[in-house]
Amino acid sequence: MPRWCDCNQPMSLELHTVIFAKKIEVKNVPIFSCMSCSTYEVLKPVKAHLTEYLQTIELSLHDPYQVVIFSDIDEVASLFCDLYKRNVEMDLEKIGDVVEVYKEERINLLLDVYQCALQMNDEGWMSDTQRRLEQLSQFHLEEHLSEAG
Where do contacts with Zn ion occur on this chain (CB under 5 A)? Answer: 5, 7, 9, 34, 36-37, 39
- Least distance from C-beta 13 to Zn ion, angstroms? 14
Residues pairing with 48 in the sheet? none
Closer CB to Zn ion, residue 36 or residue 115? 36
Burial class of 35 by CB neighbour count within 10 A (0 to 12, 13 to 18, 19+): exposed
- Least distance from C-beta 5 to Zn ion, angstroms? 3
DSSP state of 100: H
Task: Tell me how far apart the alpha carbons of residues 90 and 102 are, in angstroms, rounded to a whole number.
Answer: 14
Return the closest-CA partner of residue 31 out of 17, 10, 51.
Answer: 17
- Least distance from C-beta 39 to Zn ion, angstroms? 5
- Least distance from C-beta 117 to Zn ion, angstroms? 44
Closer CB to Zn ion, residue 36 or residue 51? 36
Closer CB to Zn ion, residue 37 or residue 61? 37
The angle subtended at Cα 133 by Cα 131 and Cα 135, nearest 5°, is: 70
- Least distance from C-beta 48 to Zn ion, angstroms? 23
Return the closest-CA partner of residue 101 out of 116, 114, 115, 86.
Answer: 86
Closer CB to Zn ion, residue 4 or residue 84? 4
Closer CB to Zn ion, residue 33 or residue 137? 33
Calculate the dihedral angle through the C-alpha atoms of 70, 68, 38, 7, rounding to the nearest 10 degrees.
Answer: 30
